[in-house]
Amino acid sequence: MKPYIWLLALSASFSSFLVQANTSQFQTITDQDPEAVKVVKQFIEGFNAQSVEQLIQHTTENVHWFNLSGLKMDIETSTQHELAAAMSDYFASLNDAKARLRQIVVSANYVSTVEEVTWSHDGEQSSQCSLGVYQLKGNKISAVWYYPAHTCDQVTSPQYVEPEIGLLKETRQ
């Protein structure tokens, strides 16, 4: 399986609750955050710490990771073991990647985000955004859908940006 995982960013769904993320690199978890938002923020903290263990502790045993592109949806992982292997490969290839939540939308047991990931490549700083949707079962992430990466800021004529990062090596199974 070749995961095209990442770039923590998901679909903004219509909902009754919108949380505007602050501009700091790390998102502060507050008492006012719904429990689902706390879980997603802790997941992102695990990503920023490059802690596979911290990521996995916030997921169900059969966590599914989907990558959407155009008319195609790939199932990247179906278990914690597959997710752990994929993220280990990802962190090995991009050891300075950091994510920041730009927006959070909550609807029942779904948390939709706009996530910005930054990294350096050949000494040059890069970033891209993605839309992501996290489905929670209890206080654990049971599924994640990521949409194609794009430039983070609005431009006059939108251009599709090919993701430079997130293309992982074969997942160990």
pLDDT in tens, 33-57: 889 999 999 999 999 999 999 999 9
**C-alpha span between 94 and 17 (Å, rounded):** 33
Q: Please give the pLDDT value at position 54.
A: 96
Asked if residues 129 and 99 have their Cβ atoms less than 8 Å apart, the reply is no
Measure CA of the first residue to CA of the last residue in the chain; give whole Å: 9
- Model confidence over 76-126: pLDDT tens digits? 999 999 999 999 999 998 889 999 999 999 999 999 999 999 999 888 999
Reported pTM:
0.75
Give the integer Cα–Cα distance in Å for 12 and 30.
21
